[in-house]
Amino acid sequence: MQGVVARVASEPIRTAAVLAELAGGENGAELLFHGVVRNRNEGRAVKAVSYDVFAPLAEQTFREIGDEALARWGPDLRVVIVHRSGRLEVGEVSVIVVVSSPHRDEAYLASRYVIEQLKVRSPIWKQEHYADGDSEWLLGHSLRASETQAEEPPDVQLHARTVAPRDDSERQDRCRARG
């Protein structure tokens, strides 16, 4: 493969198949990152997470982030990004980032860059499903320029503004008019 491969998948991620996409022999370092659905968040027992994804723009964003990694750490870099959509149970892989490069330094730096940028720039949303039967959409990072700290350099923007929590009554305010 050349450059960047990016996609949204509705089926389970097959890690061996993703790694096979990087095969070529020219790079000496290959780094794999898995994001996995965990069983607790902020003290609540989690059963599953539903990922809502605006797929065309998400894939476009993945490609842009991958291209930025190539621009920063060299054209020999290879990047594969696959993110799941739909409902995932605890332990399932939600995202995989694989980076290969001639040497390990670039692979570590690029892998961290890709996953951190993906988390704050990609149009993806998580709805957690809890053991007590409740579900809740998680708060996240605004894509609106006026809501982020535009003066910060890119690596600091990885931790761009998180929207302030609202009170619980507002969070739970679902549309009762439609039942």
Partner 1 sequence: MSPIRVEVRLFGMFRKYSSAALTFEVPRGTVVSAVRKRIAEALRAACPTFRDERLLEVSVLADEQRVLDDGDALGPRDRISLAILPPVCGG
Q: Are 85 and 53 in contact (CB under 8 A)?
A: yes
Say what angle helices 104-121 and 55-73 make with each other, to 10 degrees.
Answer: 150
**Segment interacting with partner 1 (CB under 8 A) among 69-77, 103-111, 149-157, 159-167:** 159-167
The one segment of 11-19, 68-76, 101-109, 124-132 that binds partner 1 by CB under 8 A: 124-132
Of 38-46, 71-79, 98-106, 125-133: span binding partner 1 (CB under 8 A): 125-133
Region 15-34 residues binding partner 1, contact defined as CB under 8 A: none
Cα separation, 106 vs 176, in Å, equals 51
Is residue 168 within 8 Å of residue 136, measured between CB atoms? no
Task: Kindly state whether residue 174 participates in binding partner 1, applying the rule CB under 8 A.
Answer: yes
Q: According to the binding rule CB under 8 A, does residue 88 interact with partner 1?
A: no
Nearer to partner 1, 51 or 73 (CB): 51
The span from the CA of 1 to the CA of 80, in Å, is: 10
Run of H or E including 31: strand 29-36
Pick 102 or 160: Cβ nearer partner 1: 160
Q: How many CB atoms lie within 10 A of CB 42?
A: 7
Is position 121 an interface residue for partner 1 (rule: CB under 8 A)? Answer: yes
Instruction: Quote the tokens at residue 126.
Output: 């998580």
Task: Show the tokens assigned to 6.
Answer: 């990016």
Residues in the interface with partner 1 (CB under 8 A) total 42
The answer to whether 63 contacts partner 1 (rule: CB under 8 A) is no
Of 27 and 158, CB closest to partner 1: 158
